[in-house]
């Protein structure tokens, strides 16, 4: 027999008291893990949705307004920035660890006439453009995310990557993508051809209808458009999918410093709203945490004090038999460990299960277990039990054995 | 073996001093069976726990084997109790959620003996006191006499030199009391244990080789 055995035997003997404290700890951890699981998944979902909306940061020439960009994305002549800015951003991401920037999409627009009608020819670097355009997902492209790395796409990564790479690799200098409205107007189909500014382009894909100006747009390789429009090595805008958290953390300022001669703007409202929502949920979790630590800690401390008082005669007997004060301390701290681990495991599992079941109903999002949160719940419970039990255990260890024996 | 010199013990009862022991001086040589008699509240138990390194006197010294026990660190006092002193309480003080065997194993556990030795020693002692067939009974499943025997076995677990018994027959019927006293007597006579027994019964006291009388905290030879 060891002091730990003695502690376990005592735990099993006084089950009612143990169950009461265990329930208190379990419920507390359940609440924390459950709410935090939903909050974390919600944050990830929100971030994913923002990312999925497409670019939320724009790099524009200083003379161009955001309003112009949103209304028609039609740039006036001369309102350009060097294509070199893309390289600068990529180098900053690679060398300086610029966080939160993904899916750079440089664009150059030129007005073209087809059969007497004016359309917009937009030069893109295929890989980035495809990845940034969520409206086209499901058909040809998939959308990588900047801020929700745990998001599982419907198509497996390798297959999505294959689909994405096919048009990137295959969009040659004389290939193009056409919007749905334009295709309908001229009866254009995939693998057909269309002459633009004296060059014949092969249609790689007809884009799905989006209800935006893109339906009347032709997308071709950036460098081909630059050549046809006699606008070498310049672009009108860089669309960036930025991570909401990084935007909040000052990403825009960093980009402004990197590109002082350009204008860097965000879809401020959307970003701010989503960030505020995420922050509110996290703040609520912290409030829960504080309340549960106080209530749970008080409950455990009360249980331990009561237990030490109830067992004072036993403690006095053990001391009369030669128990050291630290042996008595160990008896109580062993109980605390058992209580903490049992409550933590039960609470974490129950909280996670409730989050998985109730998350879709409450937050309208799918919720999967979060392993680190389960471990956090167990760790929190154990720490709480140990801290709350320490002073009662210390008091028990300092029991005057004589008084304890004579008390009854 | 035991030397008590000028020991005073004063309690504070709601700020009023209460004398427990008053200038106590005596010596008990090794292997002697001493009974301390006196009425309730006379200070007998106070004397016993003072000798047992469990109650620091207000003044004076207590020596066991020429060691001043109250100048020892707390851990060494605990070790002294563990290795050299066996307590026998009036109300037995068995741990209620442990079996008879586990109760006897408790002092062996505190002395950090390996589990196998704990079990073997417990079985040996319980068999010696006639409870070899009650090893897995808890105290509430034993009679008073049987509980007393478990307490005796536990007291012997670490083979102490000094046995301190506080009213060991107080809760027993006459026959069981007689058996308990005989057992204590044999420990003294056959194994050379030093025994200090507190009792209010002169009948029980006569089983000892020496009687000390305790009256209002003062010890005198009877």
Residue extents of the structural domains in chain B: 2-94+160-221
Report CB contact under 8 Å: A321, B82. Answer: yes
Residues of A in contact with B93 (CB under 8 A): 313-314, 316-317, 320, 405
Tell me, what's the pLDDT at B63? 94
Tell me, what's the pLDDT at A156? 34
Residues sharing a CB contact under 8 Å with residue A37, sequence separation 6 or more, in sequence order: A351, A352, A355, A356, A359, A367, A369, A370, A373
Q: What are the extents of the domains in chain A? A: 3-44+276-406, 57-266
Q: Is the pLDDT at A142 greater than 80, yes or no?
A: no
Cα separation, B2 vs A404, whole angstroms: 25
DSSP B174-188: HHHHHHHHHHHHHHH
Residues 306-325 of A with CB under 8 A from B: 313-314, 316-325
Report CB contact under 8 Å: A1, B95. Answer: no
Token couple for A201? 């382009």
Choose the most confident range, by mean pLDDT, from A35-39, A90-94, A211-215.
A35-39
Residues of A in contact with B54 (CB under 8 A): 319-320, 401-402, 405
Tell me, what's the pLDDT at A36? 85
What is the pairing mode between strands A237-242 and A57-61? antiparallel
Q: Which residue has the tokens 């070498």?
A: A232
**Mean pLDDT of the A308-336 span:** 90
Tell me, what's the pLDDT at A227? 92
Tell me, what's the pLDDT at A139? 33
3-state secondary structure A123-136: EECHHHHHHHCHHH
Q: Is the pLDDT at A11 greater than 90, yes or no?
A: no
Residues of A in contact with B82 (CB under 8 A): 321-323
The CATH architecture of the domain made up of B2-94+160-221 is 3-Layer(aba) Sandwich (3.40)
pTM of the model: 0.66
Tell me, what's the pLDDT at B172? 82
Distance (Å) from the C-alpha of residue B115 to the closest C-alpha of chain A?
A: 6
pLDDT, tens digit, for every residue of A38-48?
Answer: 888 877 776 66
How does the average pLDDT of chain A come out, rounded? 78
Q: Is the pLDDT at A261 greater than 50, yes or no?
A: yes
3-state secondary structure of A237: strand
Distance (Å) from the C-alpha of residue B207 to the closest C-alpha of chain A?
A: 25
- A1: nearest CB among B54, B93, B109: B109
CA dihedral in degrees (A298, A304, A305, A310; nearest 10)?
150
The answer to whether the CB of B114 falls within 8 A of the CB of B122 is no
What is the pairing mode between strands A175-178 and A217-221? antiparallel
pLDDT, tens digit, for every residue of A81-90?
Answer: 998 888 888 8
To the nearest whole percent, how much of chain A has pLDDT over 90? 22
DSSP class of residue A141 equals B
Report CB contact under 8 Å: A314, B95. Answer: yes
pLDDT one digit per residue (tens) for chain B, 222 residues:
899 999 999 888 788 888 889 899 999 999 999 999 988 888 888 899 899 988 889 999 999 989 999 999 988 888 999 999 999 988 888 999 999 999 999 999 999 999 999 999 999 999 999 999 999 999 999 999 899 999 999 999 999 999 999 888 887 888 888 888 888 999 999 999 999 999 988 888 888 989 999 988 889 887
- Between A185 and A288, the more confident residue is A185
Predicted confidence band of residue A67 (pLDDT cuts 50, 70, 90): low
Token couple for A270? 């959307």
pLDDT, tens digit, for every residue of A113-140?
Answer: 888 888 889 888 866 444 444 434 333 3
**Mean pLDDT of the A319-338 span:** 91
Q: Is the pLDDT at A170 greater than 60, yes or no?
A: no
Residues of B in contact with A334 (CB under 8 A): none
Is some CB atom of chain B closer than 8 A to the CB atom of A401?
yes
A28-58 burial string, b = 16+ CB within 10 Å, else e?
Answer: bbbbbbbbbbbbbbbbbbbbbbbbbebbbbb
Distance (Å) from the C-alpha of residue B97 to the closest C-alpha of chain A?
A: 6
């Amino acid at each position: 027999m060891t002091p730990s055995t003695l502690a376990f035997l005592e735990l099993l003997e006084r089950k009612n008291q143990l169950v009461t404290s265990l329930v208190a700890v379990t419920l507390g951890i359940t609440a924390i893990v459950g709410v935090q699981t939903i909050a974390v998944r919600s944050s990830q979902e929100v971030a994913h949705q923002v990312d999925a909306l497409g670019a939320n940061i724009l790099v524009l020439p200083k003379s161009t307004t955001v309003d112009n960009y949103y209304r028609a994305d039609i740039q006036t002549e001369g309102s350009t920035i060097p294509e070199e800015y893309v390289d600068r951003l990529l180098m900053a991401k690679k060398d300086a660890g610029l966080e939160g920037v993904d899916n750079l999409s440089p664009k150059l627009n030129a007005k073209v006439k087809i059969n007497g009608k004016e359309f917009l020819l937009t030069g893109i670097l295929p890989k980035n453009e495809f990845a940034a355009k969520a409206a086209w997902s499901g058909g040809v492209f998939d959308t990588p995310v900047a801020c929700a790395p745990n998001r599982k796409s419907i198509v497996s990564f390798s297959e999505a990557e294959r689909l994405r790479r096919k048009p990137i690799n295959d969009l040659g200098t004389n290939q193009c993508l056409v919007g749905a409205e334009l295709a309908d107007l001229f009866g254009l189909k995939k693998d057909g051809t269309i002459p633009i500014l004296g060059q014949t382009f092969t249609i790689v894909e007809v884009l799905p209808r989006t209800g935006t100006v893109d339906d009347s747009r032709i997308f071709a390789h950036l460098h081909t458009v630059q050549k046809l429009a006699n606008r070498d090595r310049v672009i009108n805008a860089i669309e960036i999918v930025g991570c909401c958290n990084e935007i909040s953390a000052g990403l825009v300022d960093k980009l402004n410093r990197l590109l002082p001669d350009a204008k860097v703007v965000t879809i401020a409202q959307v970003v701010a709203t989503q960030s505020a929502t995420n922050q509110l949920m996290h703040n609520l979790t912290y409030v829960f945490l504080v309340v549960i630590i106080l209530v749970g800690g008080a409950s455990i401390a009360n249980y331990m004090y009561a237990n030490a008082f109830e067992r004072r005669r036993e403690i006095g007997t053990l001391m009369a038999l030669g128990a050291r004060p630290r042996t008595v301390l160990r008896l109580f701290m062993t109980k605390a460990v058992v209580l903490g681990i049992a409550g933590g495991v039960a609470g974490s599992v129950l909280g996670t299960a409730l989050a998985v079941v109730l998350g879709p109903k409450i937050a309208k999002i799918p919720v999967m277990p979060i392993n680190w949160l389960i471990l956090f719940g167990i760790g929190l419970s154990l720490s709480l039990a140990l801290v709350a039990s320490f002073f009662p255990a210390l008091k028990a260890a300092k029991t005057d054995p004589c008084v304890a024996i004579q008390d009854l | 073996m035991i030397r008590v010199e000028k020991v005073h013990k004063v309690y504070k009862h709601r700020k009023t001093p209460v004398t427990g022991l008053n200038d106590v001086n005596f010596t008990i040589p090794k292997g002697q069976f001493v009974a301390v008699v006196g009425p309730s509240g006379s200070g007998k138990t106070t004397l016993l726990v003072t000798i047992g390194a469990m109650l620091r006197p207000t003044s004076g010294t207590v020596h066991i084997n020429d060691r001043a026990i109250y100048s020892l660190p707390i851990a060494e006092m605990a070790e002294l109790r563990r290795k050299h002193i066996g307590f026998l309480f009036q109300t037995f003080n068995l741990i209620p959620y442990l079996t008879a065997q586990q109760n006897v194993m408790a002092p062996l556990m505190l002395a950090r003996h390996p589990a196998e030795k704990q079990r073997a020693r417990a079985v040996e002692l319980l068999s010696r006191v006639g409870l070899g067939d009650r090893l897995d009974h808890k105290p509430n499943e034993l009679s008073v006499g049987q509980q007393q025997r478990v307490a005796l076995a536990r007291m012997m677990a670490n083979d102490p030199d000094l046995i301190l018994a506080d009213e060991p027959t107080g809760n027993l019927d006459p026959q069981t009391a007689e058996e308990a006293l005989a057992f204590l007597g044999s420990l003294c006579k056959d194994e050379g244990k030093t025994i200090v027994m507190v009792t209010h019964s002169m009948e029980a006291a006569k089983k000892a080789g020496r009687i000390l009388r305790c009256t209002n905290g003062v010890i005198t030879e009877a």
